């Protein structure tokens, strides 16, 4: 009974994070505050109360409309909250948590915070076609804290983590002070930072599977777009579609799926 209550709480936490993700995806690219400024309706600008922001339930009770102006709220907000709750829940279940295995319980918050960063990166890339530097920095901080935990409490060999982390820092410095001056679009270079962060968290086998799933997803999406637009029109717009393709979005989604599936297959592989 206790474990069922625990998993229900994990789902609720995930739904709350899902509500926060929509705010973060909107405000971070605009360099707006994401912690102190209250949420508001994008149509009437009225600040929302606590009862307006209860994940999932507020959308259902308000029938998908703003309480103050009656404007319809996009269903994607509800879907993101449900999806985030399910992902958090599946990740917790996939760790195969046992009450006496403290190491697995300590892996849970690191994994959930890492997944939260991927959600935000994916959302911003989907909307703005960019990899957010502040969120990359957030992921680096989570990595650093994770390394300290492994070194101090688990007494794990962290040379692998240090090498990858040093490479990420060096790569970002090169991107800021060198590549940014000579390249108009450094989107793919930004994806490399995300790539190495994923390698640290999900290990080499995880990133290989992530790349495979990403390529399959992109190929499938392009094929659907080709069918939808028609072959002749598609050929004319093919270049623009590829250039504006949200690679980071597919990388993040694929990495989350790989983490959860690998955990289920190996009874807690991530830890």
Q: Which residues contact 48 (CB under 8 A, 6 or more apart)?
A: 38, 39, 40, 41
Contact 270, 243 (CB under 8 A): no
pLDDT averaged over 10-residue windows placed end to end, the chain, 271 residues: 84 92 88 77 75 82 80 85 94 80 76 94 91 88 81 68 76 67 69 86 89 92 76 53 78 94 76 54
Contact 56, 81 (CB under 8 A): yes
Contact 103, 154 (CB under 8 A): yes
Instruction: Report how far Cα 245 is from the mean position of its chain's Cα atoms.
Output: 17
What pLDDT sits at residue 267?
Answer: 66
What pLDDT sits at residue 233?
Answer: 55
Contact 58, 52 (CB under 8 A): yes
Q: How far is CA 4 from CA 89, 92, 222, in A?
A: 11, 12, 41
* Per-residue exposure over 72-82, b if at least 16 CB sit within 10 Å of its own CB, e if not: ebeeebbebbb
What pLDDT sits at residue 116?
Answer: 95
CA-only gyration radius of the chain, Å? 20
Tell me: the pLDDT tens digits for 170-184? 777 776 666 666 665
Contact 115, 88 (CB under 8 A): yes
**Alpha-carbon span 39 to 46, nearest angstrom:** 9
Which class for 223: exposed (0-12), middle (13-18), buried (19 or more C-beta within 10 A)? exposed
What pLDDT sits at residue 188?
Answer: 78
What pLDDT sits at residue 271?
Answer: 54
What pLDDT sits at residue 230?
Answer: 64
**Alpha-carbon span 247 to 114, nearest angstrom:** 18
Tell me: the pLDDT tens digits for 223-263? 887 777 765 555 555 555 556 788 999 999 999 999 999 98
What pLDDT sits at residue 58?
Answer: 84
The verdict on pTM exceeding 0.75 is yes
């Amino acid at each position: 009974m206790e474990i069922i209550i625990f998993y229900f709480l994990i789902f609720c936490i995930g739904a709350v994070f899902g509500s926060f993700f929509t705010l973060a995806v909107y405000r971070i690219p605009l360099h707006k505050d994401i912690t102190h400024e209250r949420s508001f309706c994008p149509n009437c600008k009225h600040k929302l109360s606590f009862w307006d922001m209860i994940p999932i339930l507020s959308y259902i009770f308000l029938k998908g409309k703003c309480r103050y102006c009656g404007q319809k709220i996009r269903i994607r907000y509800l879907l993101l909250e449900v999806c985030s709750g399910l992902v958090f829940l599946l990740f917790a279940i996939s760790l195969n948590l046992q009450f006496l295995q403290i190491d697995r319980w300590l892996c849970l918050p690191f994994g959930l915070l890492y997944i939260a960063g991927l959600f935000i990166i994916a959302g911003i890339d989907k909307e703005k076609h960019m990899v957010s530097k502040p969120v990359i920095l957030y992921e680096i901080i989570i990595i650093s804290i994770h390394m300290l935990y492994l070194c101090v409490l688990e007494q794990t060999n962290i040379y692998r983590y240090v090498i990858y982390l040093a490479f990420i820092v060096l790569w970002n410095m090169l991107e800021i002070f060198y590549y940014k001056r000579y390249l108009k679009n450094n989107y793919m270079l930004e994806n490399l930072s995300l790539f190495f962060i994923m390698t640290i968290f999900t290990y080499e086998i995880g990133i290989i599977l992530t790349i495979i799933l990403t390529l399959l997803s992109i190929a499938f999406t392009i094929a659907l777009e080709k069918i939808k637009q028609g072959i002749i029109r598609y050929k004319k717009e093919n270049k623009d579609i590829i250039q504006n393709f949200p690679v980071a979005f597919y990388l993040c989604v694929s990495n989350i799926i790989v983490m959860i599936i690998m955990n289920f297959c190996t009874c807690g592989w991530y830890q």
